[in-house]
């Protein structure tokens, strides 16, 4: 599904396979997957455990390479890059948000947000300015000098989002960002990602939760390593069925 055919895609999978050999058994984590994601999109890649969604995320994030096929990130063929070049493109192009936050407990929240900026060759004052601005954008500037353990789960996830934003990446890659949060805080985090998308950030959300995926504009549904749906979120039959059941349950209560 092409959202903007007048520009080159930020992310392009061209017939991607990821094959693992376990003894005599061949496991196709991805089995000929192709899609394009364009600047300014908010896309949810959804599937149950073992569907291939996490493999998609690892390849998009330059954390793994396909067995076959071509992955283009901002027009660059990732398979042709050295490890150092992949690390550099990861740092400059991608901002990661993880389910378990991945904050370093001994550092202040400000220093956690500054971490990806250390590799950009910026002066200390520039790092601090960018990190403080990112904390301000996510509404936790007053927590800059606290440690992660002093914050709630939702606040820690906001610090994680600030860290992803600090380097002004082309893509924010969110891996099950609400997985460790309660439903109210989950909604707040997704609301914030939607707001970031409105500001022009490209968001790729990895999730197994249909109600979370429904908040994205577009859904790529993966099952057994293949795409079974790629289109507007509210046109996905599984999402429509899930939301209908949710509304019915609320009405009964």
Grade residue 2 by pLDDT with cuts at 50, 70 and 90. very low
- CA–CA–CA angle 22, 49, 152 (5° rounding): 130
Q: Is the pLDDT of residue 6 over 60?
A: no
Question: In the chain, at which residue ranges do the beta strands (DSSP E only) sit?
Answer: 11-22, 25-37, 42-46, 68-73, 76-77, 94-97, 171-175, 202-207, 218-223, 226-232
Was domain 40-59+82-252 assigned CATH 3.30.70.1290? Answer: no
User: What is the per-residue pLDDT across 52-89, written as a single tens digit (0 to 9) for each?
Assistant: 999 999 999 998 999 999 999 988 898 888 888 888 88
Evaluate if pTM is beyond 0.95: no
User: What is the per-residue pLDDT across 111-147, written as a single tens digit (0 to 9) for each?
Assistant: 999 988 987 778 899 999 999 999 999 999 999 999 9
Query: Long-range contacts: 22-25, Cβ < 8 Å, 24+?
Result: none
Residue 31: its pLDDT value, please?
96
Which residue, among 91, 69, 109, 103, has the nearest Cα to 171 in the 3D structure? 91
Q: Token pair of 46, please?
A: 């959804």
Which SS3 state, helix, strand or coil, does residue 78 take? helix
Q: Is the pLDDT of residue 100 over 80?
A: yes
Q: Token pair of 62, please?
A: 């330059």
Q: Token pair of 118, please?
A: 């250390």
Grade residue 180 by pLDDT with cuts at 50, 70 and 90. confident
**In the sheet that 94-97 helps form, which strands lie side by side, from edge to edge?**
94-97, 171-175, 202-207, 42-46, 218-223, 226-232
Grade residue 228 by pLDDT with cuts at 50, 70 and 90. very high
CA-CA distance, 145 to 235, in Å (whole number)? 45
With 0-12 / 13-18 / 19 or more C-beta atoms within 10 angstroms meaning exposed / middle / buried, residue 233 is buried
Residue 150: its pLDDT value, please?
96
Residue 114: its pLDDT value, please?
94
**Sequence ranges of the domains in the chain:** 40-59+82-252
Size (the chain), residues: 253
């Amino acid at each position: 599904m092409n959202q903007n055919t007048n520009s080159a895609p930020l992310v392009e999978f061209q017939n991607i396979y990821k094959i693992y050999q376990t003894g005599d058994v061949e496991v196709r984590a991805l089995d000929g997957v192709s899609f394009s994601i364009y600047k300014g999109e908010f896309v949810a890649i959804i599937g149950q455990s073992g569907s291939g969604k996490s493999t998609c995320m690892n390849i998009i994030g330059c954390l793994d390479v396909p067995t076959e096929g071509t992955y283009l990130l901002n027009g660059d063929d990732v398979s042709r890059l050295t490890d150092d070049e992949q690390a550099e493109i990861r740092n400059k192009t991608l901002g990661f948000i993880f389910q378990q936050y991945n904050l370093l407990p001994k550092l202040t929240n400000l220093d956690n947000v500054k971490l990806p900026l250390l590799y950009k060759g910026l002066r200390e004052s520039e790092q601090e300015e960018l990190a403080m601005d990112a904390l301000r954008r996510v509404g936790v500037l007053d927590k800059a000098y606290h440690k992660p353990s002093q914050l709630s789960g939702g606040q820690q996830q906001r610090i994680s989002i600030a860290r992803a934003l600090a380097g002004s990446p082309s893509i924010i890659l969110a891996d099950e960002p609400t997985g460790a949060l309660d439903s109210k805080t989950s909604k707040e985090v997704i609301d914030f990602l939607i707001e970031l998308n409105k500001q022009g950030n490209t968001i790729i959300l990895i999730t197994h939760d249909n109600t979370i995926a429904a908040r994205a504009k577009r859904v790529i549904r993966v099952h057994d390593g293949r795409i079974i749906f790629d289109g507007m979120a509210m046109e996905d039959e599984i999402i429509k069925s899930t939301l209908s059941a949710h509304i019915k349950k609320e009405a009964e209560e």
